[in-house]
Amino acid sequence: MADMQGRVALVTGASSGIGRATAEAFASMGARVVVAARRQNELATLVAEIEARGGEATAVRVDVSQPGDVQRMVDHAVETFGRLDVAVNDAGIEGPLGDVTELADEDWDRVLDTNLRGAFLCLKYEARAMLAAGHGGAIVNVGSVNSFLGSPSYAAYATSKHGLVGLTTSASGELAPRGIRVNLVCPGLVETAMHQRLRAVVGDEAIDAMLPRIHLRRAGRPEEIARAIVFLCSDDASYITGTTLTPDGGFTLTE
């Protein structure tokens, strides 16, 4: 895989899980990394770990549903490192588990505001910075297998992730002719804090019952998804835009 020397990478949702692993992957390949999330303590720990390994990183707190926060995040990246080359929009929440007829309006709004509106706002301001600099770039949105599979009891989450398909393909059509590639990564079951929260709600038996439907018979690891994301941001993926990469161990092939 091509290295990231000299490039600046911005990762939202970087305080844990796939976002954290992605930030670490970029740093290990020589990128200067801007890590963004709501949890400042976790971000500070991540920056310290990256710097201890000889990398460069800076942290910024962001609520991706707020335009002012997102603009400030992108400005921080450019002001700190002088440019923005790649961006990964990973911030997301799962919301409550429950019947769609009982879903509270405010819970629907909270999930859509973070997962879909947040991705739109991040892409908007990231692309503006890249276009202003004139050197192109790459943006990856992080969806889920629920970007194309319904999820009973998770209507808001599935809807928000479905929306990322339309956002990604539409933005690619607009931005690719101007030098910015936009792609979507849709992981399957991955060992993250979100995975553990789901286990706590539905029980180990329900989650473990999914494993035989995964061709690899196991959940993914955050670093495996991170490598797929970094690939799409690299020069090795220079002819890939507007597409969806699905690192799910073969899960959707059995649906």
Beta strands in the chain (DSSP E): 8-12, 32-37, 56-61, 86-89, 137-142, 180-185, 244-245
CA 228 to chain centre: 11
Cβ-Cβ contacts under 8 Å for 214 (sequence gap 6 or more): 188, 189, 248, 249, 250, 251, 254
Rounded average pLDDT per 10-residue block, the chain, 255 residues: 87 96 97 97 97 98 98 98 98 91 96 98 98 97 92 90 98 98 95 76 76 88 97 97 94 77
Domain 8-194+222-245: state its class.
alpha beta
Q: Is 243 helix (H, G, I), strand (E, B) or coil?
A: coil
Q: Quote the Cα angle for 198-13-23, to 5°.
A: 120
Residues with catalytic annotation?
A: 157
Query: d(Cα 226, Cα 193) in Å, to the nearest integer?
Result: 16
Q: What is the pLDDT of residue 149?
A: 87
Domain positions in the chain are 8-194+222-245
Query: d(Cα 199, Cα 207) in Å, to the nearest integer?
Result: 6
Q: What is the pLDDT of residue 2?
A: 64
Q: Is 231 helix (H, G, I), strand (E, B) or coil?
A: helix
Q: What is the pLDDT of residue 198?
A: 72
**pTM to 2 decimals?**
0.94
Query: d(Cα 179, Cα 204) in Å, to the nearest integer?
Result: 45
Query: d(Cα 16, Cα 26) in Å, to the nearest integer?
Result: 15
